[in-house]
Amino acid sequence: MKTTKLSNRNVMFTLNNSPDWALNLHLIMGEAHNFIVDTGFGSNSVDPIIQYARQYNDLPFIYVNTHYHWDHIWGNGAGEKQFIVAHNKCLNQIKTHWLEMMAGNESYCDGDVAFTLPNLTFDEGFYFPEDGVRLIYTPGHTEDSISIFDEVDGVLNAGDNIGDTMEALVPELECKKGVYLETLLKYQKLPFETCISGHNRPLAKSEVNGIADLVMDKILKAV
């Protein structure tokens, strides 16, 4: 697991359990809570992040699932946490797809993996004012995708709404391109400096803004 400190409160943890792609998990150390954004492949993904945070504080943990895909939720049962937060569509998607995700990807399980659902869900957004952490509904890669914005340090986590490589910045989309474009326009309005995503390197805001141009071009060519 590679550790990258992005700001005073934000740390990115990169796992290379697959030879073909990396997975980024994200810790925000707030004033009242530690937030772990996505929980990876199981308890062995989450436990090192908890140990890292404990070097600095004794705050309770909140887990955030950016969307329902298996590599972002299998560590939900690890450790002690106050809440697991997700969009309310994510709850249903996990229930619907859990068995098929396990059957198709069981070799990636790392440590304990338990069927553990989000216990705090929302529709359009959720705010933790004491921490300056905002959760935003941002469909695109999946219909339940959310993003996490640290208002204090100006760091955005876009989940898998950013493609896996610099050559393919537009990800696979379960939503229509127009819906995804609306999400990208939401990003443009946020005053972030750094954007973390599920599988790519950290991006500057100018790089994220440029994705909207790529999507608009695709939409125009399809007309």
Reported as a single tens digit per residue, the pLDDT across 122-151 is 999 999 999 999 999 999 999 999 999 999
Q: What is the mean pLDDT of residues 42-63?
A: 98
- pLDDT reported for residue 156: 98
Is 223 a residue whose pLDDT tops 90? Answer: no
Is 221 a residue whose pLDDT tops 80? Answer: no
Domains in the chain, CATH or no CATH each? 2-159 (3.60.15.10)
Angular region, 43: left φ>0, alpha ψ -120 to 50, beta rest? alpha
Where are the alpha helices (H) located in 13-87, listed in sequence order? 43-53
Contacts of 155 (CB under 8 A, 6+ apart): 6, 7, 9, 10, 28, 149, 192, 193, 194, 195, 196
Q: Which two tokens stand for residue 50?
A: 């908890």
Percent of the chain with pLDDT over 70: 99
Contacts of 106 (CB under 8 A, 6+ apart): none
Q: How confident is the model at residue 219 (pLDDT cuts 50, 70, 90)?
A: confident
Average model confidence (pLDDT) across the chain: 96
* Stated pTM of the model: 0.96
Q: What span, in angstroms and rounded, lies between the C-alpha atoms of 24 and 40?
A: 8
Reported as a single tens digit per residue, the pLDDT across 81-125 is 999 999 999 999 999 999 999 999 999 999 999 999 999 999 999
Q: Report the SS3 class of residue 54.
A: coil
- pLDDT reported for residue 19: 81
Q: What is the mean pLDDT of residues 154-163?
A: 98
Q: What is the mean pLDDT of residues 179-194?
A: 97
Percent of the chain with pLDDT over 90: 93
- pLDDT reported for residue 113: 97
For residue 204, give the amino acid letter.
A
